[in-house]
Structure 1
Amino acid sequence: MSTSPSEAGAERPGAAPVRIGALVPLSRPGWVEAGQHLLAGLELAVRDVDDGGGIGGRPLELVVRDTAADPEKAAAAVGELAELGVAAVVGEYHSVVARAAAARADALGLPYLCSSAVIDALTAHPTEWVARLAPAQSRGWQLYADFLLGAGHNRVAVAAQPSVYWATGTRILRDYLTPRGGTVIELDMGASSATAVAEELVAHRATALLLLVGFPDPAVPIVRAVRRDQRLADVLIGAPAGQPEFAEWAALLGDDGAGVPFLRYRPERLTPLGARVEKALRERLGQVPSFVGFEGYDTVAVLAEALRAHGTDRPRIAEFWPRVAVEGTRGEIQFSRTPGIGVWQWAWPPIQVVDRDPAEPDRFRVLHAG
């Protein structure tokens, strides 16, 4: 899939476009709705850059590739995009996919600005080629664990599928909760049904269940099974990865999907730019935009600044990461080196723990922030 300059911005007559590659999950088993929000943010920012004169009079062109949540497909796409001559690669939502893309970009000497993936170890070793906007998983999930303790939940069950991302999340939760008197109970969803999860919650006297699983399956059946079991009426269901923010969650679960806390990477008040972008994204998407749309917009805003400074020279774009100072939709964006993280990191985007209000499921409540 490719987006031409005429689709993603106003083309300047006689000026060759500046091409940037975009990795986005747009088909199953990828999280398609997240991909759509990410792409909407990327495209809106490209349009705004071009309306403001482009890159030295040259329009931006997004060359979009659907990763479908497949790491091998993403790595191959990075190689293809590099051969097509893109100045840099942006995007991706799924952590395991972004990790594969980052490794390939690093090997090829191609700048990669990761929009949404949060896994701490985005690369196996420190690299100058990769920068990231999303907060590290350890920071967000520790904030989530702090919220659980503050709400009185110290017996926390996690229903997890096999994945390095979910396994890392479980470890972060355990490392934070255990020294503070909490207990983490692992439920292997590779061997359990939704009904079995309900029985395990009763047996272990868990007060909270976290969904570290795919959406819609098996997340939706698990929520329904727990909500319908009167023995579990007081059990909190949580989804730190953010599924409840999206319209599909509300459409599939209705009232059962309310009161499920998740992580959202935005401040209580957006910047003036953010307020304008929120309105434009709402019109483009036909629904309330998620934080992923803002991540997409901010990605292009940052890269455009690097392109204006250094054109399409790949090494010089990568050298620009530590000098970035861009006013984004959620605050000023700057990159730095953070202990334990091998890429240039925005430290840190604002983080909230949010849920859908049970009394009004279309309204979000901020429960905790950091």
Structure 2
Amino acid sequence: MSTPPPTPPPPPSIPGVEPTGGSSVRIGALVPLTRPGWVEAGQHLLAGLELGVREVNDAGGIDGKPLELVVRDTAADPQRAAAAVDELAGLGVAAVVGEYHSVVARAAAGRADAIGLPFLCSSAVLDALTEQPTDWVARLSPPQSRGWQVYADFLLAAGHSRIAVATQSTVYWASGTRILRDYLAPRGGTVIELDMSALSPTAMCDELVDRGATALLLLVGHPEPAVPIVKSVRHDQRLAEILIGAPAGQPEFAEWAKLLGDDGAAIPFLRYLPERLGPLGARVETTLRERLGEGPFFVAFEGYDSVAVLAAAMRSHGGDRARTAESWPRVEVDGTRGQITFSRTPGISVWQWARTPIQVVDRDPAEPDRFRVLHVG
């Protein structure tokens, strides 16, 4: 039997703040709802969070108190997210949940760790979510290294060994490039890095031809410059056989299909769903579809599962911050995508759900609103 984890150190005091008490248990939610954030992802994440809160309250809340969601828009800004964590702590939230963008979640996680506020990261994947190991932060989404290695296996199995990455200068894209290069090199693969701050889409197409790439991965923002890049490649006859990929998931967005039409199909991306949803997942999918007016992205399920996990962690002690953080390794929750438990993963500084399902999917060229599962990790 393993020994219980040490109790997290008490957080620095915030004058005038009590983390519990009042008529409700409040949790903060960090969500990108305005540009330059990926707004569609934020909307789906928020829909999942809100549905989770509603169902927790329908089941009696937390120790007889309703759960209340206090939402803050990060707009994909790390400094704004860190400031929101401080603000939410000052408002007395029991924990913080959410965020989609990895560099933003990293800023939020670091601040939550510094002030002793439990943070459950719903959707961001950077391996180094905090600078040092912490008991205050847990994560549902898989580490980037795991997901992108699954994607690399898909590329190799499809016969691609000369892989170009169109990239921008951020920690997230640099991390993805490094993961791909380190994983592919000993397996006979080559990664060709194309800096999109120095290349136009047309010049990038020339580079793809000159360097003999058979696959191009979009490690860039959405819709700019991802959409112009896809249009340039799709309409360049020299590149008719090249595979375009987007491991970060841009093609899942409805806006992607609207802006690109048929050009946006057959572009594989990572999605964190099982091959088949169980009864809970199917019910949640139906409800989210009604609320959103479209099929939910995987981030909506991450939002719902995040609330389910926090509710389980808080039910026995009403929202005490330190005791919530203590409970991460003891949580067992039947989520929409499988049973959720947290453990320590080598190289990962936070409590991690180690069995997140991973798929590589694309939009079917014959029916772009339908997704095809191409590979399972």
Report the TM-score range of the alignment, normalised by the length of the smaller protein: over 0.9
The DSSP-based 3-state class of the residue aligned with 1:62 is: strand
Q: Which residues of 2 match residues 316-327 of structure 1 at below 5 A?
A: 316-327=323-334
- Provide the C-alpha distance between the structure 2 equivalents of 1:363 and 1:24, rounded to a whole number of angstroms: 27
Letter in 1 for 2:88: L
Deviation at 1:93, TM superposition (A): 0.3
The structure 2 residue matched to 1:189, chosen from 196, 216, 223, is 196
The offset of 1:135, in angstroms, is 0.2
Corresponding residue of 1:156: 163
Cα distance, 1:27 vs. partner?
A: 0.4
Conserved in 1, the CA contact under 8 Å of 2:63 and 2:316? Answer: no
- For the pair 1:305 / 2:312, whether they are aligned, the reply is yes
CA distance, structure 1, for counterparts of residue 254 and residue 34 of structure 2 = 17
> Displacement, 1:150?
0.3
* Offset from partner CA, 1:245-296 (integer Å, 9 cap, x none): 1111111110000000000000011121110000011011101100000000
Return the structure number with greater relative CO, CA threshold 8 A, min gap 6.
2
Which residue number corresponds to residue 314 of structure 1?
321
Name stretches of at least 5 consecutive residues in structure 1 with no aligned partner: 1-14
User: Pairwise CA RMSD of aligned residues?
Assistant: 0.9
- The reply to whether residue 337 of structure 1 matches residue 336 of structure 2 is no
The more displaced of 124-133 and 196-205 is 196-205
Segments of 4+ in structure 1 off by > 3 A? none
Cα distance between partner residues in 2 of 1:118 and 1:178: 22
Which residue of structure 1 lines up, in the alignment, with residue 117 of structure 2? 110
> Which residue in 2 is equivalent to 1:10?
none
Kindly indicate whether the alpha-carbon contact (under 8 Å) linking 1:115 and 1:296 is maintained by their aligned counterparts in 2.
Answer: yes
Residue identity in the other structure for 1:347: A
Q: CA deviation at 1:76?
A: 0.3
Contact kept, 8 Å, 2:45 with 2:300, in 1: the verdict is yes
Q: What's the counterpart of residue 129 of structure 1?
A: 136
**1:271 and 1:328 in contact (8 A); partners too:** no
Equivalent residue letter for 1:268:
E
Secondary structure of 1:309's counterpart equals: coil
TM-score relative to the length of structure 2: 0.94
Distance in 1 (CA, whole Å) between partners of 2:253 and 2:355 is: 23
Gaps of 5+ in 2: 1-21
Match among 208, 216, 226 for residue 223 of structure 2: 216
Shift of 1:56: 1.9
Q: Does 1:171 align with 2:178?
A: yes
Please report how far the alpha carbon of residue 197 of structure 1 lies from its aligned counterpart in structure 2 after TM superposition.
1.2
TM-score (normalizing by structure 1): 0.96
* % identity of equivalent residues: 79
Contact 2:78-2:104 within 8 A present in 1 as well = yes
How many angstroms apart in 1 are the aligned matches of 2:357 and 2:152? 16
Q: Deviations over 1:158-196 (max 9, x none)?
A: 000000100000000001111111110000011111111
What is the 5 A alignment of 1:77-88? 77-88=84-95
Residue-by-residue CA offset, 1:105-164 (whole Å, 9 max, x unaligned)? 000000000000000000000000000000000000000000000000000000000001
The 2-side partners of 1:90 and 1:319 are apart by 16
Residues of 2 paired with 1:261 and 1:361: CA distance?
Answer: 12
For 2:371, the equivalent position in structure 1 comes to 364
In structure 2, what is the equivalent of residue 75 of structure 1? 82
How far 1:75 moved relative to its partner?
0.2
What is the rounded CA distance, in whole Å, between the counterparts of 1:167 and 1:246 in structure 2? 23
Partner of 1:9: none
Contact 2:230/2:263 (<8 A) preserved:
yes
- 8 A contact 1:95–1:165 mirrored in 2: yes
Equivalent position to 2:260, from 250, 253, 263: 253
How far does the alpha carbon of each residue in 1:294-324 deviate from its partner, in whole angstroms, 9 at most, with x for none?
Answer: 0000000000011112211100000000001
What does residue 102 of structure 2 align with? 95
Q: 2:227 is matched by which residue type in structure 1? A: V
2:164 maps to 1:142 = no
AA paired with 2:57?
D
